[in-house]
């Protein structure tokens, strides 16, 4: 199975992009979708990952967008490991209450850590 990452600018373009996919990641941080558009998008009959990386939105807005996606039916929510403990806990609890699976992600665009370091990262993801 292949997961495509999607960040179209309009709701219609996002819906078109996921039409023939089994699994897709929606990069909410790269869109300007309203709450209602998020609800419509994540109500589609496709397994979707809700992602909203740091940068464009403040943490409260990010959390709100992810919660909207979870409430609407996101299959997964992606939470970065370096996110604050309170942010993670609140989203994890909300996801569990709404039958949404959790992805704790780690990103390093500079290098691949050593095996020993990767094992530590994996352990910390499971302990998030």
Q: What is the mean pLDDT of the chain?
A: 92
- CA 121, 124, 111: angle at the middle one, nearest 5? 20
For 63, 95, 103, the CA distances from 72, given in Å and listed in that order, are: 14, 11, 17
* DSSP secondary structure of 60-126: HHHHHHHHHHHHHT-SEEEEETTS-HHHHHHHHHHHHHTT-EEEEE---SS-PPPHHHHHHHHHHHH
User: Does pLDDT of 1 surpass 80?
Assistant: no
pTM: 0.89
Q: What is the pLDDT of residues 46-98, one digit of tens each?
A: 999 999 999 999 999 999 999 999 999 999 999 998 899 999 999 999 999 99
**Strand pairing partners for 104?**
79
Q: Report the C-alpha dihedral over residues 114, 117, 119, 125, rounded to 10 degrees.
A: -130
Check if the beta carbon of residue 91 is closer than 8 Å to that of residue 63.
yes
Q: How far apart are alpha carbons 4 and 17 in whole angstroms?
A: 9
């Amino acid at each position: 199975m292949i997961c495509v990452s999607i960040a179209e600018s309009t709701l219609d373009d996002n819906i078109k992009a996921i039409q023939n996919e089994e699994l897709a990641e929606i990069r909410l941080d790269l869109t300007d979708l309203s709450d209602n558009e998020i609800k419509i998008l994540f109500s589609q009959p496709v397994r979707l990952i809700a992602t909203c990386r740091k940068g464009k939105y403040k943490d409260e807005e990010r959390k709100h967008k992810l919660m909207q996606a979870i409430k609407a039916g996101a299959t997964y929510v992606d939470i970065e490991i370096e996110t604050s403990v309170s942010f993670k806990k609140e989203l994890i609890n909300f996801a569990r209450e709404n039958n949404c699976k959790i992805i704790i992600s780690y990103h390093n665009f500079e290098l691949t850590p050593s095996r020993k370091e990767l094992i530590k990262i994996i352990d910390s993801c499971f302990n998030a």
